[in-house]
Amino acid sequence: MGTVLRLARAYVLFMAVVFLLGQVLTGTLSPGGALAGAAGGVAVWLSRRLAARPGPRAALGACVAASLLGVGLHAHEYYSAPHARGSYYAWVLVGPFVVALLLLGRGALPPVRIRSPRP
């Protein structure tokens, strides 16, 4: 699971930079994209911090939820504006971003304790 989390952190960080840098390069401000990028970057930082030492997990859950909300707002903004034919939202990149965020969000849940049945 450690390798999967490292890959998820790397992809979320990459997409956070893409969301934020895309706005700078195009000269437009998208509140959804900014929220997805900023909250995703903070979620990666909190995930690494919680992996090193235990701490409050609610902040990680809030950042993951805010980033998912940002993805939804960004997609809504994209689909509510008219576009040229053949212009599609980048679900190929955003889909794995959502899955990686959910993997990071798993760290916000309390640890599962499996109890063996009593004989």
Mind listing the pLDDT tens digit for each residue in 98-113? 999 999 988 777 777 7
Cα 80 versus chain centre, distance: 22
In a domain, 119, yes or no: no
Domain-located, residue 57: yes
Alpha carbons 9 and 4: distance in angstroms, whole number:
9
In a domain, 117, yes or no: no
Contact (Cβ atoms closer than 8 angstroms) between residue 6 and residue 101: no
Number of structural domains in the chain: 1
In a domain, 24, yes or no: yes
In a domain, 90, yes or no: yes
Each residue of 31-59: pLDDT tens digit? 999 999 999 999 999 988 887 777 778 88
- Residue 47 falls inside a structural domain: yes
Q: Is residue 97 a part of any domain in this protein? A: yes
Give the domain range for residue 101.
Answer: 2-108
Report yes or no on 114 lying in a domain: no
